[in-house]
A and B are shown apart, each in its own frame.
Chain A
Amino acid sequence: MKAARFDYVRPADVGEALAALAKAEGAKILAGGQSLGPMLNLRLARPALLVDISRLAALQQVEDTGRTWHIGAGVTHARLEDARGRLSGGEMLCEVAAAIAYRSVRNRGTIGGSLAHADPAADWPLALAALGASVNVRGPTPRNILVAHFIQGAFTTTLAANEIIESIDVPKLSRAGRYGFYKFCRKTGEFAEASAAAVFDPESGVASIFLGALRGIPQPLASLAQQVARQRKIAASTEAVNQAIAQSVRGLDAVERSMATAVVTRALMQVLAP
């Protein structure tokens, strides 16, 4: 399995990368290449040109802006995994990063690349939607958009062909904030069969539960989140969770709903752990 022929450029900065994208038909951005690589090798993707942004220093920063963590699109999962203990208020990022695929994939795969690829079963679209993170997009007109709005469907985002994800702003959790993240994988490191993320922060008033690994985008379970925030518990039986999922997400078969119920319940148990 070898990729079809493509051209390759490695621009020196984001401006050059945008110019390369604007000039060529069928150009594609190459960040870590851990999702694009298999698609190229299987010839499911046949771009004419790859614009390699993996070494752009401007996309590598991890900055504390006070209320948010400002994460460059080219930051690898491994860097976030290794930031454990140094990302106060962003601990969930470290935990999610550490469970993505395998270390040799995490060493190259990037947070921005994962969002741009928008695999429904990937971890970042789900976790960042639950955290209320937003994407800074560079292009003809720079814009900032919530992750939950940025991703529109399976492998579909609002990113135009002449735009690049520059960074992601992740709101910090306060000391009273709690999060949960749980996924079922057939094998460790494989894409999730079902996944859920939950974020609760009494100080900022955020209460969100998202269900992932669906056919389209991560889905919010808003009424369940309201209920958990007010009562600080979930019903003794998982029936309430099952009902909430049935109301918010259509088209799941019995097995899928059962798995979804389990991941949501387990994510909430992490949130509510004493």
Chain B
Amino acid sequence: MTPIALSVNGRKIQALVEPRTHLADFLREHCRLTGTHLGCEHGVCGACTVLVDDEPARSCLTYAVQCDGLAVQTIEGFDVDPIMQELRTAFSREHGLQCGFCTPGMLIAARDIVRRLPDADARRIRVELSGNLCRCTGYLGIINAVESVIAARASKPTAVASAAAATPPAPLQAFAPTGEVAPVSMATPAAALEEVRTGWTRLRRVLWWQDRRRRYGRSLRTFLQWSPASTGPS
């Protein structure tokens, strides 16, 4: 056990943790802050996104011992945050959630986009949110919600002026290469080591799908059996 002292949502907390306890488990089980959700526990789904020292981070890929002396902010810590207030209203209005599982991570990622990218368009928002998976909304409601908050803030007189466009570089000139990057020998990668990666990728996919099936299998089957003909107006 390792002693740590950190701040969670502004509260000073001291605890003894096992080094292997990741931040999300620490928040949920020690601090009883269950707003941080755990989906995949290997950095793919984004549900566990929290702020560590004011920057979004995967709390499943951050161990609690690493946060000794740092400030952590979870979804429970945004009650009076002005951007989060606007985002909550917009998510509600635009149908940016259904089951709500992804929403804590989605909101923290969305707030980061609003703060960091005041010029983001719908496409950029999509790219920026690609690290947060949602299985209900089809993302459109979420994108619309974030876009509407950015638009509302841009129309305020205090909005930050956009940066000037960079000048494009000159076209490439023909030349005879001399300072060539040192040639690389055709190294023979050990077959066993290749298999680590292949195995890892495959295992990740299998585990991800198993998890999805366990969580949503029944509702997916119900959805697939549903058809307009069988439930249409009689």
Contact = CB atoms under 8 A, between A and B. Distances in A.
Interface of A: 1-8, 10, 30, 33-34, 37-42, 44, 50, 52, 54, 78, 85, 101-105, 107-108, 119-121, 129-130, 132, 146, 148-149, 152-156, 175-176, 178, 187-189, 191, 199-200, 202, 204-208, 215-220, 222, 225-226, 229-232, 271-274
Contacts of B114: none
B62 interface: yes
A249 to B, nearest CB: 9
Contact of A154 (B43, B109, B169, B196): B196
A218 B55 CA distance: 32
B57 interface: yes
Contacts of A52: 65-66
Nearest to B211: A1
B172 A189 contact: no
A156 B42 contact: no
Interface residues of B, number: 64
A104 B177 contact: no
Contact of A38 (B42, B66, B176, B182): B42
Contacts of A3: 20, 22, 63
29 contacts: A2-B22, A4-B20, A6-B19, A8-B2, A10-B65, A10-B66, A33-B61, A33-B62, A37-B43, A37-B58, A37-B62, A39-B200, A41-B22, A41-B41, A107-B56, A120-B197, A132-B181, A153-B187, A187-B130, A189-B130, A199-B181, A205-B177, A205-B178, A206-B179, A208-B181, A216-B194, A230-B176, A231-B174, A232-B172
Given A44-B200, A202-B172, A205-B175, A34 B193 contact: no
B74 interface: no
A108 B20 contact: no
A10 B69 CA distance: 12
Given A155-B197, A229-B177, A230-B176, A105 B204 contact: no
B18 interface: yes
A272 B189 contact: no
B130 A232 contact: no
B166 interface: yes
Main secondary structure of the interface of B (DSSP, over half): loop
B96 interface: no
A154 B183 CA distance: 18
Interface string B142-180: 000000000000000000000100100111111111111
Given A1-B42, A188-B130, A104 B58 contact: yes
B207 interface: yes
Nearest to A49: B19
B180 A207 contact: yes
B46 interface: yes
Nearest to A33: B61
Given A149-B182, A154-B197, 16 more contacts: A1-B42, A2-B22, A37-B58, A38-B42, A42-B200, A103-B116, A104-B55, A154-B190, A156-B189, A156-B193, A175-B169, A205-B178, A207-B175, A207-B177, A220-B181, A220-B183
B176 A205 contact: yes
Nearest to B201: A191
A188 B65 CA distance: 31
B178 A37 contact: no
Nearest to A272: B172
B119 interface: no
Q: Which of B19, B22, B188 has the most CB of A within 10 A?
A: B19
A33 B23 CA distance: 13
Contacts of A50: 19
